[in-house]
Structure 1
């Protein structure tokens, strides 16, 4: 009986050891393979081939998810110009519980520099359970609203849901620009809704603003001319005292000059804003786009419009 118990115990122990070996061995093998890939990636990076190095580092991270590999991945992304992905990667490293605190200040400085090189998409989704992809990559945890960092350039956002037609938006983003994109899916059997071009709306708004400026300039100019004519009645135009004005005439001339300057600024500014608005309206694409326009049509006048 004792021999039988010992036999069962030994068999159980052997099975447990085999189980541990079967679990540990693949882990050690993957770690070793990841180390080989890291070494190869570092060699490629040293030779300036950051694209190939990035592939090695990412494969290594898939095999063995060491947070240190995120630094290699982030640096490679920076060198190949994929700054938005680099931002996300560095932020993942800083959020990791095993991140090195001594690297935080350095990485925060790098992130500040990268923030000036990327744009943002402010994505809003009209309903729940919608799959959203950006340039063919599925975005996770979007919910009803998400802000996604992107590199400057052209991008495509797609919203999909079961039994519904997908909604597709094509848009352009500049560095430090935030572009809002609203994703509304059509009801079953309907065509997806057309996007509202905020750039076009902003353009026509600028045209209206510019027209108002021109009208205001004309009105103020007319008042200035009236003041100047009234001042002539209080100023000598001939004889020994030609050019001399009474205090009332001098005051009216000052008012006329001030109003004339204001009229010129309003007229020139209105014309510049109107032309800019026409350019925006006629070159706008059917995409939801935001941006900022700064105009300095004349000294002392600065117009900044956001759409």
Structure 2
């Protein structure tokens, strides 16, 4: 709450030393931006408590009171007191920022005296504000630079940033590169530039070895064994039929030659020659069946042997026997 005595005291402070001015700057009337009447009342109570703590020398606690008071109800007077509180703690960058903010709030409210005080305080302390600029020797894709936990965007690099005195860690990282870090001590009045060196690329990882080849299966290839049995069985049937047909054909031809009605005096009649030619045709068919049966038996044996020798095929490949009129063999189905 602003009293006539407080206003007179503040007017007097403008002509006094800056060191005592923080104790004379009153808080403003409640702002229209204050959340509620209770917020404004709480802000005023915090402000007065902060003034009391400043007088007693407990600057850390006083700053906390001023900060919360200004959060509830922004005020140029509170910001001026907060700036002086920061100065007492050696936080010159925070003090300078508080004065700059007080200028903005004071102009918005038409508080000329507050603005003049903020301009004077800011001008006095600005030369002593330490600044840190972070530059990079070489940009790499994905490069990130940090000051403590604060990421420094590419646009902010190389720009001197006002900081309170203290110790700061500067680090950089990028995908596929070794990270880098450095701790720098910033003192009052210092202007420091830290250059992030070119990050060292990590060695390329060796390619992964191919998976080990599975051991050969001890189980026989049943599809080949079955196919061999089927093909060999068909071959055996062919051999048996061919052999039987051949024996019968030879017997028919001999009987025709020895028949006196068909071949009297070893001279065969037309009917006898027809009987003999039919027997020879059957003999040719018998020979073909024997040859085909022999080939199928050999193929069946070969398939059976392969069934015990070859490794198992992929799960999506199958070998199946194939039987159709005039064709006997195997079919491979699947994706190779």
* TM-score, normalisation: structure 2: 0.40
Q: Give the structure with higher Rg (CA).
A: 2
By relative contact order (CA 8 Å, sep 6+), the higher-ranking structure is 1
